[in-house]
Structure 1
Amino acid sequence: MDIKAYISSGILELYVYGSLSEKENEEVYKILQEYPEAVEEVERIEKTLQQLSSVMASPNVNSLYHKIESQLEESTDKNTVIPINRSSKNWAAYIGWAASVALLIGLFIQFNKNQKLQQQVVTNQIEQNLLEGKINVAEEDLSKVKSLLNVLRNKDIIQIPLKAQQVDPSAYAAVYWDKEKQVTYIDVAGLPTPPPGKVYQVWSLKLDPLTPTSLGVLNNFSEDDQKIFSLKNTNASEAFGITLEPEGGSESPTLEQLYTLGIIDS
């Protein structure tokens, strides 16, 4: 690009004055990132604008303004023509003042446009990050499902259906016990979401005498879409049960809150 010709085209003045479209602003912004000469020209234009703005504080301009205002009030009473002395010096200052106001308004509009543009860039970036996050989560879920399918299809896995108990006759669950790897998979899709402050706790049971051993609590129940949890199980389990307990779990099961129970077929 011939940067000198680009600067001479006047587009940078329009950029500073806020007279460009959003697309044109983006193009100028890219040029500014690449050519220091363009940046220097924008700074020169802005400096000129500041000098014009200082005219607003000129005593000559303030004096002219008050003089016009006074004569306007007088003409209202007398219905006469306002005799304004056309001093070339004062008019030049007045024109400079008017131009600076117009440029300041343009800069304000440009600032708002730039703010909106930057906000749009940030929004687009956030949306992209969210999309990438969703893709990663989907891939993780798919991998998890495949792993679970491999486990459930293993012929050596012991499957134990857990039947509903009195507290909720519609509840159901299932246990898939890999004795060799000492891992128990708990499918609790048939359990209702626990109320606040409560969690489901899984128990390994010995039946004679009845001896419950906690395998753990099912945290993040609501967040887990598959509702399948894996728990370490080193016990010689004869049955499994699930109870509703206070958050953090209990040392022994609350039998009044026993939701499901299943015995291993001998």
Structure 2
Amino acid sequence: MDIKEYIESGILELYVAGALSDKENQEIYALLLKHPELLNEVISIESVIVKLTAAVSPTSTKHLFKAVKEKLGLNKETPVRPLHKPETNWFSYVGWAASLVIGLGLFWFINQNNELQEQLQTVETDKDLLEITLEKYNNDLTTSKQLITFLRDKDIIAVPLAGQAVSPDSYAKAYWDKKTNTVVLDVQGLPEPPKGMVYQVWSLTLNPLTPTSLGTIDRFSTDENKLFTIKNANASEAFGITLEPAGGSVSPNLEQLYTLGVVETS
């Protein structure tokens, strides 16, 4: 489509004046949404009309119709005149009829333009939401790729954590990278903790049994993937997860030991 040729054709002026059919208006409206150059041209035409009409009437439709009525003498008392053949001033009537048409056309265009602006605002809002969604998707994708790379590292130690007496069906898994002192903990197999309680992760040495807290899982309910990264610089021989009061405990409550797994040594 040749934008310049379309603009020079004069059809946009007819669109602004409201002189086109509904079908033509809809076609041009669709083009305005696709081509910003056409929209800018329509806005420019509107601006010219507003400037031309501003000198003789306010932009409010209420005042516009009031001004037309005043010009036509409809707000004044009609004086009594002697009977005689009236002289018809067709030029005056045609001029005021044209003014009324332009005023109504401008009123229609302003409404159409407001709808167009609302449509464009909706498009911009949808575009922003799409960009946010794509950004989140890209971030999630990047995180997923990093996690896959992490799990496939040959030096990663995978430690299954089996369910214990308080919850035999529970399970979890720890992926420990000794080089970075990082543990990725998959707790998808744990039930939702009761209100006011949190899961706490422990690093254990077995002889003698010495627990060291690695922290609490505070975002268990809000994290859909149930994957958590924690730091562990300890010489861990096992990992355990207990249910503790919110804020965590100094030492584990072994009666609430949900999962336990021993680090296999090669």
TM-score calculated relative to the size of structure 1: 0.68
| Counterpart residue number, 2:37 | 30
| Counterpart residue number, 2:161 | 162
Secondary structure of the 1:193 match is: coil
The CA deviation string for residues 42-93 of structure 1, in whole angstroms up to 9 with x for no partner, is: 432222344564563447448525769xxxxxxxxxxxxxxxx887498568
Secondary structure of the 2:50 match is: helix
Distance 2:133 2:262 in 1: 45
Distance 2:148 2:103 in 1: 67
Per-residue deviation, 1:178: 4.0
Q: Does the 8 A contact of 2:16 with 2:105 survive in 1? A: no
Distance 1:162 1:4 in 2: 73
| Map 1:201-216 → 2, pairs under 5 A | 201-216=200-215
| Map 1:110-189 → 2, pairs under 5 A | 110-151=112-153, 154=154, 157-179=156-178, 181-189=180-188
Secondary structure of the 1:119 match is: helix
Per-residue deviation, 1:95: 3.0
Choose which of 46, 51, 61 in structure 2 pairs with 1:47.
Answer: 51
Distance 2:75 2:96 in 1: 9
Per-residue deviation, 1:179: 4.3
Q: Does the 8 A contact of 2:211 with 2:251 survive in 1? A: yes
Q: Does the 8 A contact of 1:16 with 1:46 survive in 2? A: no
Per-residue deviation, 1:216: 1.9
Name the CA shift for 1:48/1:159 in 2 (closer, same or farther; >3 Å). Answer: closer
Secondary structure of the 1:189 match is: strand
Secondary structure of the 2:112 match is: helix
Distance 2:112 2:19 in 1: 4
Secondary structure of the 2:74 match is: helix
| Counterpart residue number, 1:56 | 65
Q: Which runs of 5+ in 1 are unaligned?
A: 69-84
- The structure richer in helix per residue is 1
Aligned length: 244
Matched AA of 1:230: T
Name the CA shift for 1:110/1:92 in 2 (closer, same or farther; >3 Å). Answer: same
Per-residue deviation, 1:30: 0.6
Q: Does the 8 A contact of 1:60 with 1:93 survive in 2? A: no
Distance 1:215 1:117 in 2: 53
Distance 1:185 1:44 in 2: 65
Secondary structure of the 1:169 match is: coil
**Could you tell which deviates more after superposition, 176-185 or 139-148?**
176-185
Per-residue deviation, 1:184: 3.3
Matched AA of 1:30: E
Q: Does the 8 A contact of 2:204 with 2:239 survive in 1? A: yes
Name the CA shift for 1:164/1:12 in 2 (closer, same or farther; >3 Å). Answer: same
Distance 1:129 1:213 in 2: 43
Distance 1:41 1:101 in 2: 14
Distance 1:4 1:149 in 2: 60
The CA deviation string for residues 101-140 of structure 1, in whole angstroms up to 9 with x for no partner, is: 5224313322333223312421441243045224413421
The two structures, once aligned, show a CA RMSD in angstroms of 4.0
- Aligned identity (percent) is 35
The CA deviation string for residues 9-63 of structure 1, in whole angstroms up to 9 with x for no partner, is: 2523523659633124347751465x7xx87654322223445645634474485
